[in-house]
Amino acid sequence: MKRREADKQMHDNQPNDVAISCERLTKRFQERIAVNSLTLSVPKGSIYGFLGPNGSGKSTTIRMLCGLLTPTSGRGTVLGYDVMTQSEAIKQRIGYMSQKFSLYEDLSVDENLDFYAGVYQLGKAERIQRKRELIEMAGLTGREKQLAGSLSGGWKQRLALSCALLHRPELLILDEPTAGVDPVSRRIFWEVIHDLARQGMTILVTTHYMDEAQTCDWIGFIFFGNLLVQGSPSELIEHHGADNLEDVFIKLVKEEEARQAAGQKGGGGGTGDVLVPVKGEGR
């Protein structure tokens, strides 16, 4: 069978209500296991908060899902495309804002959008329409000629988000999009995220802010490369008899550290104490 037909068949065989699915996905850097046998599933149209302390494996997972890093083992699909063999198809269909998403600071808002419209090869009419829509969505009307470098942190993030959305991706992956952004700008940014999800977009987002995590449909918590829990915020709080998500995670971190100190295996090799998302639940 030709490669393109094989790709199409694989894509057509995926359940169409799941945006991201991975099974025992693993990444090793020499002796270090950055992501250990990760199994997770993100329903289409949902917001999935991917949480964990610094160095726990979030960015590595995201880079594998975006087709930027080849997994050592395991398997996964993003929008039905295989992360091992179909990374180009994945890159075309997702919007990705990395921690170091770089705007061109010496270009204006308008020029940054033009630049990314060129990267995504949008035609002239599409470019004009998308720029208009996204400038309005991001609340950047009136700032089109302002240099990106002169925008405050919150505006920069919204411009970066607009650039990541130009090509109408079905899935948006955001790696700590609000790090270092003031609370009001964070709130506005998240209103945009929820609007996008209401319109049917799937969003995978990492954050260290528990108020943001609380508004996600699903949460996955990763530590030392192991996915320790997965479920809706309310399920996790109830399951652990905690008052809030922060308490859940502090408890999990302490338990995991104790396990590690005792030389035991990590929290289930990716699927241990996992409350699996239930189809149809969520917002």
Ligand X SMILES: Nc1ncnc2c1ncn2[C@@H]1O[C@H](COP(=O)(O)OP(=O)(O)OP(=O)(O)O)[C@@H](O)[C@H]1O
Interface with ligand X (CB under 6 A):
29, 32, 34, 52, 54-60
Q: Which is nearer to ligand X, 135 or 160 (CB)?
A: 160
- What gap in Å lies between CA 201 and CA 185, rounded to an integer? 21
Q: Which is nearer to ligand X, 26 or 59 (CB)?
A: 59
* Long-range residue pairs from 4-11, CB within 8 A, at least 24 positions apart, any chain: 7/81, 7/82, 7/85, 7/86, 7/89, 10/77, 10/80, 10/81, 10/82, 10/86, 11/80, 11/81, 11/86, 11/89
Q: Which is nearer to ligand X, 45 or 220 (CB)?
A: 220
In angstroms, give the least distance from the CB of 96 to ligand X. Answer: 14
- What gap in Å lies between CA 144 and CA 137, rounded to an integer? 13
Q: Which is nearer to ligand X, 49 or 57 (CB)?
A: 57
Q: Residue 136, Cβ neighbours under 10 Å: how many?
A: 11
In angstroms, give the least distance from the CB of 17 to ligand X. Answer: 28
Q: Which is nearer to ligand X, 13 or 30 (CB)?
A: 30
- For residue 164 the two structure tokens come to 């990541």
Question: Nearest CA to 215 among 225, 223, 227, 207?
Answer: 207
In angstroms, give the least distance from the CB of 21 to ligand X. Answer: 20
- Phi, psi at 60, each rounded to 5°: -65, -45
In angstroms, give the least distance from the CB of 51 to ligand X. Answer: 9
In angstroms, give the least distance from the CB of 30 to ligand X. Answer: 7
In angstroms, give the least distance from the CB of 226 to ligand X. Answer: 12
In angstroms, give the least distance from the CB of 66 to ligand X. Answer: 13
Identify the burial level of 64 via C-beta atoms within 10 angstroms of its C-beta, where 0-12 means exposed, 13-18 middle and 19 or more buried. buried
Using DSSP bridges, classify how beta strands 202-206 and 171-175 pair: parallel, antiparallel or unpaired. parallel
Q: Which is nearer to ligand X, 65 or 196 (CB)?
A: 65
List, as one string, the DSSP characters of 11-43: HHTS-TTEEEEEEEEEEEETTEEEEEEEEEEEE
Q: Which is nearer to ligand X, 34 or 138 (CB)?
A: 34
